Amino acid sequence: MDNVGIRPARIEDLEPLADLAAALWPDASPEDHAKHLKPILNDGMVGAIPWAIFVAEAGDHSLAGFVEVDLRSHADGCDHSHPVGYVEGWYVVEGQRHHGIGQQLLAAGEEWARGQGCREMASDTWIENQLSQTVHEALGYEVVDRCVHYRKAL
């Protein structure tokens, strides 16, 4: 997909973003996801913790994917003396995969984490999610635990 731009999510993205979140995490409804997403889109915070969401916007203004990142005080395999950027969610619409959108989204999340003073980025996935593991490793993340937690020096 040639006409995809990566940008910070806006409150106007709430409904389509909630639909994408439900595709990634189908145990909750889009309405439930919207309740979680709304404060992030409004304030960039969940409680006292900074969060950011970046979206891939197609030329027709539809969303082709998103990455949701936040700060953690620590993550497995990372230096505990500094906050760590953490990938909470990362999704690209199935028909838009294999075009570098996921890599661009992740790069935006990593840049946000650098701006928050992070030196590392961490992530995790389910052990049976081989696609996610393959993509993480292809983008420079390394397995640090058999729970399949990832880290990447920033």
Confidence at 146, pLDDT banded by 50, 70, 90: low
The pLDDT of residue 1 is above 50: no
pLDDT (0 to 100) of residue 49:
87
pLDDT (0 to 100) of residue 153:
93
Global confidence as pTM: 0.89
Q: Where are the beta strands (DSSP E) in 73-141?
A: 84-92, 120-124
pLDDT (0 to 100) of residue 150:
87
pLDDT (0 to 100) of residue 75:
85
Question: Please, what are the domains in the chain?
Answer: 5-116 (3.40.630.30)
Q: Quote the DSSP letter at residue 11.
A: G
Return mean pLDDT, the chain.
Answer: 92
Tokens standing for residue 99? 């075009």
In tens, the pLDDT along 3-62 reads 899 999 999 999 999 999 999 999 999 999 999 999 999 989 888 889 999 999 998 999
CA distances from 83 to 50, 74, 79, 98, 99 (A): 11, 6, 8, 31, 31
Question: What is the b/e burial string over 77-98, where b = at least 16 CB atoms within 10 angstroms of the residue's CB?
Answer: ebeeeebbbbbbbbbbbeebbe
Mean pLDDT in residue range 101-112:
96
CA 154 to CA 22: how far, in whole Å? 30
CA 17 to CA 13: how far, in whole Å? 6
The pLDDT of residue 73 is above 60: yes
